[in-house]
Structure 1
């Protein structure tokens, strides 16, 4: 196995377990404070889009990591919908439609166009979580291990993409590295006592 292949599979392995800490945290605490619904909707778009992009470019590591990613992303969305009294169908449907649009760009215009278009949900995942970390009265629902693994995951993918090379991944992962690093830093500041800016009303969990 070459260095490129090995790095790709390490990135895939991290991607597979990426959502598990957040899923376990939500199940254990029953708190969703500080967790962005929009971020997890966007992550569903990414799981679907990157998985099918992996099929198109023949990269099994992309297919595997995003197939397993769905096994954590969907349950997290289910838990958040239950906690916040939201319709699961109304939460999932926009993500599926967005994924169809992203894959359409990939099929019509190729990998570079895919990398540019997938930046939208890719940035939304991390920026939405950034906003939630900044504004939420509490960040109790956020798993720090998930935030840390998100940085590691993006660093691995961008390293792999430069070695392949794979322009779509280079574009998307390079931007994501900086935003995920900010999220880790801001979570740490909130836990150290930094107050919320422009705070949202506190969520009341649905029994």
Structure 2
């Protein structure tokens, strides 16, 4: 059985174009693979723990800064609970709209909670950072209203996929596949373009 964690980073429900791409991909996969299990994490519906001072202190204790006290241990347990759901998946599907050149803040919050030493990454002074995940695959569905790869900078820049690619490398996800629907607004044929993007998503499955 293959377990996919679908991380929906859009708050737009059925109107989300990035989610429509991800769902087309997952529906096609599900039709072809009877043993597929899909766990959907909708970040706007999830109550994520705040990454507060206790959690930060617990994290820093892994780098030799202070010791983890009872408050830190309790805070760290919350982080571990959220992160284990991520680690348990074999594959990841992300749908990510571009917000102000980057990723939505709810996704950044989630990443900040789960990206922890000893869970998703390790660190050694000489070696630097290294990922702890192995044999994982991510398929990412990106959308943006105006930005498009290769477009003039007056239409924006990509701190969107660039950030995600850096993060995938940090945690050890080496196989990353992308499907883009960019731009979705600055086009003469938006409905047709969305349809083509959905077909690309199905083909990727």
* TM-score scaled by length of structure 1: 0.29
- Greater CA radius of gyration, 1 or 2? 2
Higher relative contact order (CA 8 A, sep 6+): 1
- Higher strand content, 1 or 2: 2
